[in-house]
Amino acid sequence: MIGAVAICTASLGCQPEQDGESTRELSLGISPAAANPTPKESPTPKEHPTPATGEAPGTSDEGPIKKPLYPRGKTYKAEIDWDAASAYKPKLDASTLSTEDHDKLSKAQMPVLLPSDNALLEKVTHYSVREHGYSASLAPQGHHIYVAGIRTVHEYPQIELDKAGDKLLEQPYRISRTHQIVTLSFSRFGVGYTIDVECAKPMDDTRCTEDGYIEKLYESLALLDTRGGTP
């Protein structure tokens, strides 16, 4: 800033910081006022009036937002084939569970399938029973297992499956992977079941990188005698 002031004083004849007119200003015929004019105030920009509709300036009414259309299906409680459940084997001995856990699962309104491996059942952290389903959370070392049954059916009759979809339905179960969680889903007794396996090291643990482990869990499922639930 000092250099800029010095240039202004030497070449433009700016007013020095003293009373009276300088010799250079008079020799150039420039008055102190002309040499140091008062800056003019910038005009205040005009304000645009706010539209009466309350819209911000520059916006326009483009009509209502159109939401994408999704197929409307129907949801209902599936009818359970209790005869098929009664004939199913293997059965899980009720003594495998604590009295408290067995009483809780007996309130399920659907057949309860659980792994028959006693070592796994000892790792159960929580059982849950809801109006239309149940679930079991198991936490063996290095991975987590979640077994669930759901009696609610979501049906979309207007959606037609292609040949690949029809082929999937013919399979006894379906395996998928989402966010590194392996899921095996299947239907039995007219209702749906899922098994989820989540590994602490999903990229290295063969229980998650391969299908064999979750398939063995599926094959080990046994039916717990819980006919106490209301059909």
Alpha carbon 186 to chain centroid, angstroms: 24
Average pLDDT over the chain, rounded to an integer:
77
Q: Which of 60-74, 157-171, 172-186, 204-218 has the lowest mean pLDDT?
A: 60-74
pLDDT greater than 60 at residue 2: no
Same domain, 153 and 102: yes
Q: Judge whether 161 lies within some domain.
A: yes
Could you tell me the CA-to-CA distances from 169 to 61, 81, 117, 139, 165 in Å, in that order? Answer: 48, 19, 28, 31, 7
pLDDT of 78 reads 87
Same domain, 94 and 173: yes
Q: Which of 54-58, 121-125, 164-168, 207-211 has the lowest mean pLDDT?
A: 54-58
pLDDT of 113 reads 97
Same domain, 99 and 22: no
Same domain, 91 and 24: no
Same domain, 29 and 80: no
Same domain, 124 and 187: yes
Cα–Cα dist 76/171, whole Å: 24
Same domain, 175 and 85: yes
- Phi, psi (5° rounding) for residue 199? -100, 150
Please return the burial class of 88, using the count of CB atoms within 10 Å of its CB with bins 0-12, 13-18 and 19+.
middle
pLDDT greater than 60 at residue 94: yes
Q: Judge whether 105 lies within some domain.
A: yes
In this prediction the pTM is 0.65
Q: Judge whether 138 lies within some domain.
A: yes
Instruction: Work out the average pLDDT over 99-126.
Output: 94
Domain count, the chain: 2
pLDDT greater than 70 at residue 151: yes
- Phi, psi (5° rounding) for residue 171? -80, 150
DSSP one-letter code for 20: S
Q: Write out pLDDT tens, residues 118-146.
A: 999 999 999 999 988 999 999 999 999 99
pLDDT greater than 90 at residue 166: no
Same domain, 128 and 78: yes
Q: Judge whether 53 lies within some domain.
A: no
Start-end of H helices in the chain: 2-11, 23-27, 32-35, 82-87, 99-105, 118-121, 163-170, 206-209, 212-219
Nearest to 185 by CA among 151, 218, 230, 136: 218
Q: Write out pLDDT tens, residues 13-72.
A: 444 444 444 444 433 444 444 445 555 555 555 555 555 555 555 555 555 666 555 566
Same domain, 99 and 190: yes
Q: Judge whether 202 lies within some domain.
A: yes
Q: Spell out the residues 6+ positions from residue 107 whose beta carbon is closer than 8 angstroms to its own.
A: 129, 226, 228, 229
Cα–Cα dist 51/59, whole Å: 10
pLDDT of 35 reads 47
Most distant CA atoms of the chain, gap in Å? 120
Domain range enclosing 211: 74-224
Same domain, 175 and 102: yes
Cα–Cα dist 161/173, whole Å: 17
